[in-house]
Amino acid sequence: MHTQMKRLYEAAEALAGLKTQAEIARALNQSQQTVNNWEARGISKAGLVKAQSALGCSATWLETGTPPMAIAPRLVAEASDAALPAATDNPFIEDAKGIRIGDEPHTIPIRRVKLKLHAGVTGFETEPDMEDGGVLHLPRAVIEAQNLVPHHLLAIRVRGQSMEPMMFEDDVVVVNTADKNPISREIYALNFDGEALIKQLIKRNNEWFLHSMNPDFGPINVRSGQCSIVGRVVYQPGRILTGRL
């Protein structure tokens, strides 16, 4: 096995509790065949960037073995640009220029994605949303307070006006894809007839409804379409959402 992949397996287990090729492939949004190819040839430059974003391990460490394994709270310190290394063909230097891993210390990078859904299908696919470098930096304290597992979390954008004034279009929320248990009054990312929705689930008289915060949008009976839960919305930058409504 290529030494870069040995390091990837080590980092995946140490930082995210991932042990198998399939788990790593899912966390990095790659096919197992791609990860299998890395085992023979080494990790591609794009793969190194994905691993850093998804797992919080240093791409430089994966590529060369230069410590530390985990990325620092800031890729760019509070030093002048003159203190940064000169531009090279190393993509991590270019990508890191002027980018902070988080203005708060102790953050974990969560993948920003767009959901690809199909009506009647309970599973889902994602494609990267590369705004802000393709990641949202979630305070470690939020993850620890809710016992969340980082590789189960996705950051997605809110679409439409139905959740105003709580959430506005293009606001970003964090979804826990491991939590699909419906709880009345909690907020979920949903696949409703192939459309990605963020809604509050309300149970009335043994019927489930999709509830909007904006009074201009009426409730939707879940039975009126094909509906499946993508995951529970656990965080909106600045506030934890679970158990608050």
* Each residue's pLDDT tens digit, 164-206: 989 998 899 999 999 999 999 999 999 999 999 999 999 999 9
- The pLDDT of residue 229: 94
- Where residue 76 falls among pLDDT bands split at 50, 70, 90? very low
Per-position DSSP letters for 127-169, written without gaps between them: EE--GGGGEEEEEHHHHHHTT--GGGEEEEE--SSTTTTTS-T
pLDDT of 87 above 50 = no
Q: What is the pLDDT of the chain when averaged over all its residues?
A: 82
Whether residue 218 contacts residue 202, with contact meaning beta carbons closer than 8 Å, is answered with no
Domain residue ranges in the chain: 3-96, 107-240
* Each residue's pLDDT tens digit, 29-67: 788 888 888 998 889 887 888 888 788 888 888 999 988
Contacts of 142 (CB under 8 A, 6+ apart): 148, 235, 240
Q: How many CA atoms lie within 13 A of 127 on its CB side?
A: 2
Residue the block writes with tokens 């158990």: 243
CATH number of 3-96: 1.10.260.40
Supply angle C-alpha 236, 13, 178, rounded to 5: 40
Which residue did the predictor score with more confidence, 84 or 243? Answer: 243
Query: Mean per-residue pLDDT for 122-148?
Result: 85
Whether residue 51 contacts residue 28, with contact meaning beta carbons closer than 8 Å, is answered with yes
Supply angle C-alpha 71, 130, 160, rounded to 5: 125
- The pLDDT of residue 68: 85
Fold of the CATH domain 107-240: Umud Fragment, subunit A (2.10.109)
- The pLDDT of residue 219: 94
Which class for 236: exposed (0-12), middle (13-18), buried (19 or more C-beta within 10 A)?
middle
pLDDT of 97 above 70 = no
